[in-house]
Amino acid sequence: MDMNTLYGGFAAALISDPLWVMNVVSSYAANSLAVMYDRGLIGTYHDWCEMKHVLLEMDRILRPNGYTIVRETNYYVDAVAAIAKGMRWGCRKEKTEKGVENEKILICQKKLWYSSNQNSR
């Protein structure tokens, strides 16, 4: 998920890889969704007030055992991790490259849900 994209450059750079990038245009910037759609990329328009909705949509789209990577300030990474753990995703926080102290990377994996009743059968 490229949370503050302008024209989808990150997704365009990875176009030949077997993955997809959700391009997110911030409500605090110019709405460039049309440019991304013209490039054949996927995207959405939101602000962080809708964080729960974006994560729920990601949970709906992401396959079991699929990964999502979020790079953001420590405050938002912690907020996303709290919601993701509530959705039973496994998450770990990593440091970014040297010199970028105010951002962290959150790597989450959607887990397969098992009912506790399956064990009693």
Which residue type is seen at 66?
A: G
- pTM of the predicted model, to two decimals? 0.67
3-state helix/strand/coil string of 59-101: HHHCCCCCEEEEEEEHHHHHHHHHHHHHCCEEEEEEECCCCCC
CB count within 10 Å of CB 94 equals: 11
**Structure confidence by residue, pLDDT tens digits, 13-48:** 888 888 878 888 877 777 888 888 888 888 887 765
CATH level 3 topology of 51-115: Rossmann fold (3.40.50)
pLDDT on residue 115: 63
Is residue 117 predicted with pLDDT exceeding 80? no
Q: CB of 56 within 8 A of CB of 80?
A: no
**Structure confidence by residue, pLDDT tens digits, 62-114:** 888 999 888 888 998 999 999 999 999 999 999 988 878 888 999 999 998 77
Domain ranges of the chain: 1-46, 51-115
